[in-house]
Amino acid sequence: MNTLDRTTKDWQAADAAHFLHPFTDHQALSAKGSRIITRGEGVWLWDSEGQKIFDAMSGLWCVNVGYGRQELIDAATQQLQTLPFYNAFFQTATTPSIALAEKLAQLSPPQFQHVFFSGSGSEGNDTIVRLVRRYWDLQGHPGRHTIISRINAYHGSTMAGASLGGMVDMHAQGGLPIPGIVHIEQPYFAQHAQPGESHDEFGRRAASWLEYKILEVGPDKVAAFIGEPVQGAGGVIIPPDTYWPEIQRICDQYGILLVSDEVICGFGRTGHMFGCERFGVRPDLITFAKGVSSGYIPLGGVLVGDRVARVLIEQGGEFNHGYTYSGHPVACAVALANLGVIEREGLVQRVHDDTGPYLAQQFAALQGHPLVGEAETCGLMGAIRLVRRQATADAPAEPFASSLSVGMVCRGHCFNNGLIMRAVGDRMIIAPPLILTRELIDEMMARIRRCLELTWVDVQ
């Protein structure tokens, strides 16, 4: 059938018949039918029924420069015409991959002068596991292979990515985690703070769980600690400011490599080029993806700090690892154009100075809503925790019973009211494109408020 002749129902039938979606219950999908997204412009999407939708999730945390940017389209077209593919194996390279490596070295903290490219964030984190273990082997410590991560972290969906991640539902399928990966609790104040504990005190205590784990595993067995500066898929869990500096101190004390997974936080999301800069830490390795190309084309990788790069280059010989699409020339050309837009339009500075603080103000104003336990932001990412009853001087907020699936109720209202927000348990989260203006924030907040009202009515 000619694709132009198809109705939404035709597309949904073909979808249900043939397409296995990521992270999807297909019985539920078949019963309801997918929403088919057909077009995007700026922060807006349109579906096959013509509904206009405010995309407050930037696709999947990635469309930082918004949809429909001609510069990125031109870069892809030009590179496809010139050289659609060549690999980076066997002592070859392409000009876009070299130029992008050089650009990333310029944009990242000073200890990063080298880049290893992958096709995605998950592959980037597989590379992390290979790299840190290779580093310790070359240092003469082959027993130092254990990587510590956090419960409820998300580091991707490959065997290593899902193992590094701390999602229990993922571990339950496929015998994960793989050996040599262990987890500590996340720095989630609403879940783990003790009565009367301040955010700062909690941040230091949550970081101390890393030290306990190092001592339990044995300091001579621990290779690295990995964390997202702000846990994204876990529900936008923003750690207290005391957390990351203490994590840094502990890693330094035990000589452990510190890995910052910046797949979401990288390229301006927090109002800094990288999230580690927002929290004042100096990682040895950074995983990136998503925002590097604004999701226009798959690309990811690892920024390799001098400490690791020096050993790998000077002592390592051949590193037996790589992907066909490492340094794909079209992806790299698009990423260069994307980073050009971010720089030229001063998007990181804009989030830092203007839209980030403005969004924080608007979220703070939600605090009086009876459904809102906390509403927090970091740059242009934010979370609203939905609660049955707000905290009082004597008692913490009362959560909804999980059987009520309050987040899914709210997400349903967003879906029907032209707003994409994501629900993670009882947390409603956003990560809108960095091109947001104050006017667009007002528009988004009006939609968020309306969806909160509708949810409130439903749960009474």
Sheet holding 300-305, edge to edge: 112-118, 300-305, 285-288, 257-261, 222-227, 146-150, 181-184
Taking CB under 6 A as the criterion, the residue among 121, 268, 301, 433 binding ligand PLP is 121
Nearest Cα neighbor of 97 from 87, 106, 108 is 87
Helices (H), 257-405: 275-278, 306-315, 329-344, 347-350, 356-365
Minimal distance in Å, beta carbon 287 to ligand PLP? 6
Residue 240 binding ligand PLP, by CB under 6 A: no
3-state secondary structure of 63: coil
- CB closer to ligand PLP out of 228 and 246: 228
Radius of gyration, CA atoms only, the chain: 22
Spatial separation of the C-alpha atoms in residues 109 and 13, rounded to whole Å: 49
Task: Kindly tell me the burial class for residue 218, based on how many C-beta atoms sit within 10 Å of its own C-beta (0-12, 13-18, 19 or more).
Answer: exposed
Gap between the terminal Cα atoms of the chain: 47
Is there binding between residue 263 and ligand PLP (CB under 6 A)? Answer: yes
Distance CA 292, CA 305 (A): 18
The verdict on 120 binding ligand PLP (CB under 6 A) reads yes
Which residues 159-178 are close enough to bind ligand PLP by CB under 6 A?
A: 161
Q: State whether the Cα torsion 109-111-113-119 is positive or negative.
A: negative
How many chain residues bind ligand PLP (CB under 6 A)? Answer: 16
Best CA proximity match to 60, nearest among 351, 293, 237: 293
* Binding window for ligand PLP (CB under 6 A); candidates: 243-251, 258-266, 352-360, 365-373: 258-266
Element (H, E) at 159: helix 159-164
Measured from the CB atom, is 289 or 304 closer to ligand PLP? 289
Task: State the nearest-atom distance from the C-beta of 356 to ligand PLP, in Å.
Answer: 19
Nearer residue to ligand PLP within complex by CB, 156 or 305: 156
Say whether residue 233 binds ligand PLP (CB under 6 A).
yes
Residue carrying structure tokens 């990333």: 104
Q: Closest distance between ligand PLP and the C-beta of residue 265, in Å?
A: 8
In the bound state with ligand PLP, the residue whose beta carbon lies nearer, of 125 and 455, is 125
Q: How many residues does the chain have?
A: 460
Beta bridge partners of 116: 302
| Residue in the shown chain whose Cβ atom is closest to ligand PLP | 121
- Residue type at 56 in one-letter notation: A
Work out how close the CB of 324 gets to ligand PLP at its nearest, in angstroms, rounded to a whole number.
16
Which two structure tokens, joined as six digits, stand for 62?
Answer: 């990635």
The residue among 291 and 399 lying less far from ligand PLP, judged by its C-beta, is 291
- 122 in contact with ligand PLP (CB under 6 A): yes
List C-alpha distances in Å: 414 to 369, 408, 450: 17, 10, 9
> Which residue from 291, 300, 301, 356 is in contact with ligand PLP, where contact means CB under 6 A?
300
Q: Is 345 helix (H, G, I), strand (E, B) or coil?
A: coil
Q: Which stretch binds ligand PLP (CB under 6 A): 10-18, 236-244, 260-268, 397-405?
A: 260-268
By rule CB under 6 A, what string of x and - marks binding of each residue 78-117 to ligand PLP?
Answer: ----------------------------------------
Backbone angles phi, psi at 237, to 5 degrees: -90, 110
Does position 261 bind ligand PLP by CB under 6 A? yes
Q: Taking the complex as a whole, how short is the minimal distance between the CB of residue 210 and ligand PLP, in angstroms?
A: 18
Q: Decide: is 264 part of the binding site for ligand PLP (CB under 6 A).
A: yes
Which CB, 232 or 271, lies closer to ligand PLP?
232
Give strand pairing partners of 181. Answer: 147
CA distance 453 to 137: 57
- By the rule CB under 6 A, 339 interacts with ligand PLP: no
Q: For residue 248, what are its two tokens? A: 């840094």
Nearest CB to ligand PLP, comparing residues 266 and 373 = 266
Q: What angle do CA 269, 272, 114 make, to 5 degrees?
A: 100
State the binding string over 123-162 for ligand PLP (x if CB under 6 A, else -).
Answer: --x----------------------------xxx----x-
C-beta closer to ligand PLP: residue 97 or 120: 120
Q: Does 335 bind ligand PLP (CB under 6 A)?
A: no
One of 281, 289, 347, 421 touching ligand PLP (CB under 6 A):
289
What residues numbered 213-232 form the site for ligand PLP, per CB under 6 A? Answer: 228, 232
Minimum gap (Å) between residue 299 Cβ and ligand PLP: 9
- Kindly list the residues in this chain that would bind ligand PLP in the complex (CB under 6 A): 120-122, 125, 154-156, 161, 228, 232-233, 261, 263-264, 289, 300
